[in-house]
Structure 1
């Protein structure tokens, strides 16, 4: 059973805005220790299949931009963190049933998710772009080129990629894939023609799959915010999370995390 919050303290993070002289003070509420003195664990749901946001390391651990943000948030509260594996298809039910405080991993601010969680402030933007084999050239650049009979579209089940494919490619041949990890091999091996996913993920994935290309990632088909999910009506955690993310944005920490994964000299993987 989750421990009752018995008191509320604030820690103030003073940060210099990069490139300016203004001092920004951000109050970060900290969840108090329970009566037994043991810090309450921050439980973070994550699918762990969406780099550079979140990816499993094969040994039960996770890495990625969202993972580092989640770890930093827990540290700011003085609490340990536990990552809880979920899938995109079951995120709605798992988030509540597995008693998660937050959810991370490249989550878009999709309106339907408001039904089971609250959103943090937006910490980044992204949009959908196509991934295909380099040998195809620019053959699948536009939605119209993809939405044709005979074009083999593939999408991972249960998330915004499936929704985008169903909405925009009704004439194409759609295959739903059970995960977002092995799906790129289907394109490489010629069993699918194109996969439309977040442009940020595409920029990362083509580093590992040199035979693939992401088309026009700088001008994706759409644009949406990236957020972390918070338990419904948990104002203490929501306020603390937003204050923490504000400091990471103000100091450029979020940009530096993305640069490690998709920047000109990216080395994370």
Structure 2
């Protein structure tokens, strides 16, 4: 009889307690203007603003951990030490350890020249045209920047017309110093760094890449219900124009 009373009490208690809280952790990595420190030392940026809006709408808690290098973040995520990574591409191999939200913004990659530079081919409308021309190019050392760039890269390398950089700050400084005619990179990141360095840019009339990015949830530490909760929040915010307003405030393409 006593056991029955304990079980009944536990059942009644469970019926009045709130559902298990939705709480996810992510490690920060500075990637201006998506994530960076403001003048007061706090973290801000396009991705953080979008994530905070999404998590608030989903009634979930987003816990941000101290900064980690990209490789360590990826490894920790795969080992189950992090629940979430933003700005992720949905690839088949990642489905072994992750689940993906619907897209919450696009990744865009463009080609830029220094404003007023005579060698900038403003008429070029594709990487194929650039590869057939004479312009030299600066590009990030790592990352995927679209099939057109991948196809043109061997010819650029063969002719000694391609140099690489490790950070956009380095890339902008190299462009400003005349180390190349053009620079390839994430549109918002390049524009942000150019403003920081006071370098005026011109933009070629084509995008090298436009692709959706997603929230990547750890399959070991999150549930299908967590994913559904975030997806529903993204969908509602898109319908109300909230996410578009945040993206527009950063002039996202």
Report the TM-score, using the length of structure 1 for normalisation. 0.67
Aligned position for 2:131: 147
Picking from 170, 175, 178, the partner of 2:163 is 175
Gaps of 5+ in 2: 1-13
Deviation at 1:67, TM superposition (A): 0.4
Equivalent in 237, 247, 255 of residue 226 of structure 2: 237
Alignment correspondent of 1:138: 121
- Which protein has the bigger helix share? 2
Residue in 1 that maps onto 2:7: none
Which among 199, 220, 224 is matched to residue 207 of structure 2? Answer: 220
Residues 1:43 and 2:31 aligned together: no
CA 1:259–1:242: 2 relative to 1, 3 Å: same
Equivalent in the alignment of 1:22: none
What is the TM-score of this pair, normalised by structure 2? 0.70
Task: Output the CA distance in 2 between the equivalents of 1:158 and 1:90.
Answer: 16
| Paired residue secondary structure (1:44) | strand
How far apart in 2 are the matches of 1:99 and 1:56? 24
- The Cα of 1:249 is off from its aligned counterpart by 0.8
Among 45, 50, 68, the alignment partner of 1:64 is 45
Taking a change above 3 Å as real, the CA distance of residues 149 and 121 of structure 1, as seen in their structure-2 partners, is same
Partner of 2:144: 160
Comparing 241-250 and 140-149, the one that deviates more: 140-149
Root mean square deviation of aligned Cα = 3.7
1:116, 1:175 → 2: CA distance? 35
Deviations 1:54-78 (A, max 9, x none): 3344876432221012223444435
> Which has the larger strand fraction?
1
Cα pair 1:102 1:230 within 8 Å, conserved:
yes
Instruction: Give the structure, 1 or 2, with the largest relative contact order (CA under 8 Å, sep 6 or more).
Output: 2
**Once structures 1 and 2 are overlaid, which stretch shifts more, 186-195 or 111-120?**
111-120
| Structure 1 unmatched ranges of 5 or more | 1-6, 10-29, 34-39, 265-269
Distance 2:109 2:133 in 1: 21
CA contact 1:88–1:158 (8 Å) conserved in 2: no
Tell me the distance in 1 between the aligned counterparts of 2:29 and 2:166. Answer: 12
- Max radius of gyration: which structure? 2
CA shift digits 1:222-254 (9 cap, x unpaired): 431121211126323312221221122111111
